Structures are given as structure tokens and as C-alpha cells.
Amino acid sequence: MKATKVTAPAIRSRKGGDNPVTMLTCYDYSFGRILDRTKIDILLVGDSLGMVVQGHENSLSVTMDEMVYHCRLVTRAVQRALVVADMPFLSFQVSTEDAVRNAGRLVKEGGAEAIKLEGGAAVKETIEAITRAGIPVMAHLGLTPQSVHQMGGFKIQREEERLVEEARAIDQTEAFSLVLEGIPGRIAARITREIDMPTIGIGAGPDCDGQVLVLHDVLGLYHGKSPRFSKRFANLGELTESAAEAFIEEVKRGDFPGEEHTFK
Ligand code: KIV
């Protein structure tokens, strides 16, 4: 039986239920195929690719062209999960017109079905303009990595009243969900209780309406230090290393290629 396609309105309707939303990042075709075979709800082409795929210290240098490229790789593979693409740094902050055009590129050229952008009350109008253009928007509050310099590093955000106010401002828009990153669980729980749209947490405790993690942290593929709030569910880094060592050994011993790999 063909699995039901996940849509932005379907995610919006999952507020407060007993079926938490699950989201993982994804940056290419191979992982897109594998992850789409699971029950994951959302695949996020995150600008975290700047760190985990490109090896930068932060996500600030990621360009629109790079996001469109990675988005295409993922959407070529994915049929069931909802594909959301991140708006990279400076693709939406300069003007609303820019924001709508760039969101449109992620949909039109990249095949994304929704976009995500960072910010609170300051991006309210931008969210409204993008949703008016028919593009579903996921918002993102708390430890917003594109503001790394303003925050003085990747720091847990603890100003409760400001965070609640920002979340309320987002809740007045047509955004279909809100990512809460790097905030105390108590504040995330309060926001989740007080707003109507589903919250999706990363480093925001267990009381959000869903959870998201960066794929390379989950799989043990990230070369750097993963944040304390992430969890490694497998160690593909080590598996890759031992597979490469086994290949090298077999070639040196003359065991590979064998007869079964050789044409007569
Ligand atoms: O870019 C990203 O991976 C993200 C998630 C951490 C939510 O924004």
C-alpha cells in the first residue's frame, strides 16, 4: 500500500496530539531514498549543511544556489515525507521582495514543499508575504544559528518573556509550525502550551509537539563536536572507517577482486 504523502496542513493539524512530529535533516539523494522508506514526517534541507557537509564553522556562508542544489538532490529521491528547505543567511533579511523570490526559487528550482526561516516578530511580515505567495513556512526561534555572532556563540537562549513574546508573534502568522532550538525545556513547554501551532524542538526538552535532529549527529558522521542536546543513534563514521580498512587489507593481500568480481 502506498504511504500517505505528508503535507504542511497535515503537520499543522498535529498540534497537541499523541503522535509527535519527527523531522531529520537530509542533504542528498542517497539519504533521501533511505529516510523516505522510514516513517519520518519531515526532511529538512537545513543550512546546517554548511557545517556537516561543507566543513565550515557555521552556516553563514551557505548560498541560495547551494541550497537549491541540495534541495534538488533530496526532492529527486523523496516521495512521501514533506521536504522543507532552509532560507540561508541574507536570503530573506534584506527585503520582503528578496525573501519571496528566494523562497520561490527553493520551491520552483529545488522542488521544496515548504521553507524554514529563522527569527521572531522581526520576520512576521516576511512570513506573511511568503505564505501569501502560496508557500508554507516553518518558523525557527531560540538559538538561531544565523545569529551566532549576535548571540556571542552557539548559546542556550534563556530570556523567557522575550521568547514567549516572539512565539506569540509567530503564532499570529500563517506559519504551519515553529522550531524551538536551544532553550530550556520549561520555556519550550510553556510556549507549546500557549500557542496554537505545533512546536518542533531541538535542545528544547520533551514537551514540544515534535522533535528534530541533524542527521550527521544521529548517524555519528559529524567530524566536529555535536551539541549536548543531540543523540547518536548509530556510528556510521566508525563503520565507514572499518569498511575502508577492510577494502585496503583485501587489496594488499590480493583477496580482492576475487573470481566472482572478474569478467571471463
Ligand atoms: O539547519 C538545520 O539543520 C536546522 C535544524 C537544526 C533545525 O535549522
pLDDT above 70 covers a percentage of the chain that reads 100
| Ligand 1 pocket member 179 (CB < 6 A) | yes
Q: Is residue 80 part of a domain?
A: yes
89-113 pLDDT per residue, tens: 999 999 999 999 999 999 999 999 9
Q: What is the pLDDT of residue 71?
A: 98
- Cell numbers found for residue 86: 532552509
Q: What is the pLDDT of residue 239?
A: 98
- 3-class DSSP state of 204: coil
Q: Is residue 140 part of a domain?
A: yes
Query: 254 C-alpha vs ligand 1 centroid, how far in Å?
Result: 45
Q: Is residue 1 part of a domain?
A: no
Q: Are 152 and 250 within one domain?
A: no
Phi, psi dihedral angles at 180 (to 5 degrees): -115, 115
The H or E element spanning position 76 is: helix 64-77
Q: Are 172 and 105 within one domain?
A: yes
Q: Is the pTM here over 0.95, yes or no?
A: yes
Nearest CA to ligand 1 atom 1: 46
Q: What is the pLDDT of residue 4?
A: 96
Q: What is the pLDDT of residue 226?
A: 87
- Mention every residue, 6+ apart, whose C-beta is less than 8 A from residue 167: 120, 141, 178, 180, 191, 194, 195, 199
Could you give the number of structural domains in the chain? 2
- Cell numbers found for residue 15: 498540534
Residues in the chain: 264
Q: Are 263 and 147 within one domain?
A: no
Q: What is the mean pLDDT of residues 205-231?
A: 95
Q: What is the pLDDT of residue 152?
A: 98
Q: Are 229 and 239 within one domain?
A: no
Q: What is the pLDDT of residue 3?
A: 87
Q: Are 183 and 255 within one domain?
A: no
Q: Are 143 and 245 within one domain?
A: no
| Ligand 1 pocket member 46 (CB < 6 A) | yes
Cα–Cα separations (whole angstroms), residue 30 to 2, 21, 60, 76: 20, 23, 25, 10
Q: What is the mean pLDDT of residues 211-220?
A: 98
Q: Is residue 2 part of a domain?
A: no
Residue 1 has pLDDT above 80, yes or no: no
Average pLDDT, the chain: 97
Q: Are 110 and 165 within one domain?
A: yes
Q: CATH number for the domain including 114?
A: 3.20.20.60
Q: Are 73 and 42 within one domain?
A: yes
| Ligand 1 pocket member 213 (CB < 6 A) | no
Q: Are 27 and 80 within one domain?
A: yes
Q: Are 13 and 139 within one domain?
A: yes
Q: Are 14 and 72 within one domain?
A: yes
Q: Give yes or no: 181 in active site.
A: yes
Q: What is the pLDDT of residue 16?
A: 96
Q: What is the pLDDT of residue 17?
A: 86
- The catalytically annotated residue of 159, 160, 181, 250 is 181
Q: Is residue 64 part of a domain?
A: yes
Whole-angstrom distance, CA of residue 216 vs CA of residue 169 = 32
Query: 24 C-alpha vs ligand 1 centroid, how far in Å?
Result: 9
Among 225, 183, 186, 175, which Cα is nearest to 202's? 183
Q: What is the pLDDT of residue 230?
A: 95
| Ligand 1 pocket member 178 (CB < 6 A) | no
The H or E element spanning position 244 is: helix 236-253
Choice from 48, 137, 178 to test ligand 1 binding pocket (greatest atom count within 8 A of CB): 48
Cα–Cα separations (whole angstroms), residue 231 to 35, 141, 214: 17, 21, 9
Residue 178's domain spans which residues? Answer: 8-233
Q: What is the pLDDT of residue 156?
A: 97
31-59 pLDDT per residue, tens: 999 999 999 999 999 999 999 999 999 99
Q: Is residue 3 part of a domain?
A: no
Q: Are 195 and 264 within one domain?
A: no
Q: What is the mean pLDDT of residues 176-198?
A: 98
| Ligand 1 pocket member 52 (CB < 6 A) | no
